Chains A and B, each alone.
Chain A
């Protein structure tokens, strides 16, 4: 495969910026649709990038989303500088959330984000260091390169 057939994109995410939140996943989604990825693959990318983006907005100062897509697989890495996660096992549980009252007012904090990302990905890795930040790697198998 030559480099031409590899999408390689990078986006910045700013912590605390609820106004812009969700932009990155909207942008990615429209690119993938245009390229012609399977609608369900696009949907899974939209959900997982949105949730990851929101977590950076809510719990970190800033972050970067690196997006790579080949016809066969999509890999997304979201790395942030922020508070980090104390207990990853807990954080992965449905319903667990440390969201503030303010965030809950805005409709976040159901504790569904990370479990949703995991459900929508084929591979999911998460590492975190308290006080430094969190790194998420999500892989989604896109198919055999032809349109399904």
Chain B
């Protein structure tokens, strides 16, 4: 780890609007990494712990937590603007609206080009299969496409980063290929082409601004599917015959499946692959991997959202319905490969599908940088914890009594800030 790691500011896309926040602590209780505290009636995010999963967005009854994706209008600084929707978008409309109409609708909204990411998903499925054939350990390997999972591993399981597959994620591959192609075709420098990702996921918006695995993303911004949904739907409704053309060769049905839980496994030998999602199950499986317990499993598809990306916090359609719609789209377009495996194999061995650098650990700051002092503080924390009611009432603004004890040893709170104890003391004679 680099020594400077201490001073890195992490970029986050979640913002709490102070004037809207009522301090009702729903977000604090929902946060899977216990990264939220409520102080003086307002919620605050501890940047170091936040993994951008977006659980808090939907937990807030006031709508006070907003994702900092780019506003729909603000992408006009490029000569050529290309929208690359996550294939999740294909499953957000009624079943008789197909991808070509969605692409045409996006052009009506002002995009010069629309790129399809499902072909990159298909290429990455093949690359993944080759990777599993050639990899020699450590097992199991963990998928790299969900940035919330990646950040969760970096923060809470830093010893497991070497299990993360060093393959590029489909969205970045798509942006790279589409931008290079447009640059050639239009004879434009890359800087003049703005690629915008349309996503259901706040963590991907972060990963575009501050990638974990490279200097710079191929994307220039991201738009939330929830934000673009209404204008896009009107644009689609206003399409006339002849404004779009159906082509059953595109998008790739294999690629679309990536966005549904288990999608990447369906392309692999199923005997030793597992698909895991949701914070509880992820924690369990990562604990097991950390102990080297999962000996039979070779590949873990890990998504933060319970139904995969189609269930992302910025999606519009119900995740289960979106799943069914994806299956119908897969049937419509046919699950035959669009790409030649030989070609993918060749590109694979030229390094085309690999991340620029491996994912590095980003462990939580310990109680103290000096381990000896940290151990002493740990014991102190244990002592404080034993004085607490251990009911996790949350009145102090910490999600649990344990986090309260931690904040006390860090000097952020005083033991007298435990309201439960002071009420108990007052009411006993």
Contact = CB atoms under 8 A, between A and B. Distances in A.
Interface in B145-163: 156, 158-161
Contact of B367 (A36, A116, A145): A36
Contacts of A4: 372, 375-376, 379
Contacts of A46: 159, 290-291
B135 interface: no
B361 interface: yes
Contact of A147 (B293, B371, B378): B371
A110 to B, nearest CB: 6
A139 to B, nearest CB: 17
B1 interface: yes
Contacts of A7: 375, 378-379
Interface string B374-398: 1110110000000000000000000
A71 B373 CA distance: 9
Contact of A35 (B1, B291, B361, B378): B378
Contact of A34 (B158, B293, B366): B366
Determine which residue in A4, A37, A39, A50 has the highest number of CB atoms from chain B within 10 A of its CB, and name it.
Answer: A39
A71 B371 contact: yes
A26 interface: yes
Interface residues of A, number: 35
A31 interface: yes
Contact of B363 (A25, A39, A71): A39
Interface residues of B, number: 30
Contacts of A35: 366-367, 371, 374-375, 378
A145 B370 contact: yes
Nearest to B283: A26
Contact of A40 (B156, B159, B376): B159
B158 A39 contact: yes
Interface string B286-301: 0100111101100000
B291 A36 contact: no
Contacts of A110: 295
Contact of B378 (A22, A34, A142): A34
A33 B364 contact: yes
B242 interface: no
Interface string A30-62: 010111110110110011001100000000000
Nearest to A44: B159
Contacts of A47: 290-292
Interface in B263-304: 287, 290-293, 295-296
A50 to B, nearest CB: 4
Contact of A29 (B290, B369, B370, B374): B290
Contacts of B15: none
Contacts of B357: none
B292 A39 contact: no
A29 B290 CA distance: 9
B20 interface: no
Interface string B183-197: 000000000000000
A64 interface: no
Given A22-B293, A34-B367, A107-B296, A39 B375 contact: no
Interface in B342-379: 361, 363-376, 378-379
A5 B373 contact: yes
Nearest to B379: A4
Contacts of B369: 36, 146-147
Contacts of B295: 107, 110, 112
Interface in A108-148: 110, 112, 116, 142, 145-148
B292 A71 contact: no
A119 B292 CA distance: 12
A88 interface: no
Contacts of A1: 372
A26 B286 CA distance: 11
B361 A5 contact: no
Given A34-B364, A146-B370, 17 more contacts: A1-B372, A4-B376, A5-B376, A26-B287, A29-B287, A29-B291, A34-B378, A36-B366, A37-B371, A43-B159, A46-B290, A50-B292, A71-B375, A116-B292, A146-B371, A147-B1, A147-B366
Interface of A: 1, 4-7, 22, 25-26, 29, 31, 33-37, 39-40, 42-43, 46-47, 50-51, 69-71, 107, 110, 112, 116, 142, 145-148
20 contacts: A4-B379, A22-B287, A29-B290, A33-B363, A35-B367, A35-B378, A36-B366, A37-B371, A39-B361, A43-B160, A43-B290, A47-B291, A50-B292, A69-B375, A71-B370, A71-B375, A107-B296, A142-B371, A146-B371, A147-B1
Which 8 pairs of residues, A with B, have the shortest CB-CB distance? Answer: A36-B366, A5-B372, A43-B159, A50-B291, A39-B159, A39-B158, A71-B371, A4-B376
